[in-house]
Copies of this chain bind each other. A is one copy, B any other.
Amino acid sequence: MIDRLLAAAAAFALASPAAAQEAPSAPPSPGEIVDAAPAADWVAIAPSDLLVMDLAPDAAGKSRRVVIQLMPAPFSQGWIGNIRKLAATHWWDGTSINRVQDNYVVQWGDATEKKPLPDGLMAVPESAYLSERQRGTTTWLPSANGTYAPHHGVLAGWPVAWNADAAWPVHCYGMVGVGRSLSPDTGSGAELYTVIGHAPRHLDRNIALVGRVIGGIEHLSSLPRGTGALGFYEEDAQRVPIAAIRIASELPASAQPRFEYLSTESASFAKYADARANRRDPFFIRPAGGADICNIPVPVRPVAAK
């Protein structure tokens, strides 16, 4: 029996790709479906919709780049206008990562809370947390859970929830939102956070989401947790400096990161979403028969620079 257990240990990996190779006739895993998607199913993300955050190099001198995809209309456009202005004026350069709360968020901005903001930022009203429901343009994911909203799906590559009146983006892992104070129309876009734990869906419709991390999230999620209240760092030396934040289209062409996402209107995405909800690859013995919206992340991949 020891030998059998040893063999088990040797072969163990959660949903190992090797498993599928051993059983060539097995149903494909979600990852294999994505890998097999034709080039036409992938949508290039415009460099003008990418926010590039370069952190100070790590202790070994290695560069740390985080890439955030900004949300398209109709969502959060007031804040995204502010974010574009903050990036254009280089406002974030020299600010820092100030908060890392385990199973919750990483937050960045001005730790001194005294740096003047550029002129012309908007104060965005609470109504902008929602958008009129976009009928006919949303891919339903009917198996996604209804605890937080009657419906969930993906709209042009983004996870959304909706009811009879409105649609809104949801707080999945890696989503980026705008810190605010008690009043809902506060929050300029200068203080941003990303989710690094279980989806805090209670924040939906209470804080504005403006994008998602699509590259380098490990440079945020693996940072030491802050020991102050709410995971704020207590000492200057703990805060990782932000060297620069730019819109990618403002970088030299050779330095622009390029990404594409799997069209959520494609047959490949439908097959992928179904496979996420019903795992039939060989590791699984009981497919769940459903998946919550945050367990069907929209596939995004880097592509070589032109």
Contact = CB atoms under 8 A, between A and B. Distances in A.
A2 B117 contact: yes
A197 B175 CA distance: 13
Contact of A148 (B2, B187, B191, B288): B288
Given A198-B199, A222-B222, A283-B182, A147 B292 contact: yes
Nearest to A293: B147
A102 interface: yes
A73 interface: no
Contact of A201 (B121, B191, B288): B288
B182 A11 contact: yes
How many copies of this protein are present in the complex?
2
Given A8-B188, A186-B4, A198-B294, A14 B230 contact: yes
A218 B181 CA distance: 27
Interface string A102-140: 111100011001101101010100100000000000000
A146 interface: yes
26 contacts: A2-B116, A5-B117, A5-B121, A5-B190, A6-B117, A9-B109, A9-B188, A9-B191, A11-B181, A11-B182, A12-B181, A12-B186, A14-B193, A14-B203, A14-B230, A17-B229, A17-B230, A103-B174, A126-B285, A172-B198, A202-B288, A202-B291, A205-B286, A206-B279, A206-B284, A222-B223
Interface string A251-295: 000000000000000000000000010010011111110111011
A295 B200 contact: yes
Contacts of A182: 11, 19, 22, 282-283
A185 to B, nearest CB: 9
A190 B5 CA distance: 9
Residue of A2, A8, A179, A207 with highest tally of chain B CB at under 10 A: A8
A7 interface: yes
Contacts of A294: 198
A249 interface: no
A224 interface: yes
Contacts of A191: 9, 12
A89 to B, nearest CB: 13
Contacts of A78: none
B148 A146 contact: no
B173 A197 contact: yes
Nearest to A230: B13
A2 B123 CA distance: 9
A189 to B, nearest CB: 9
Interface in A62-116: 100, 102-105, 109-110, 113-114, 116
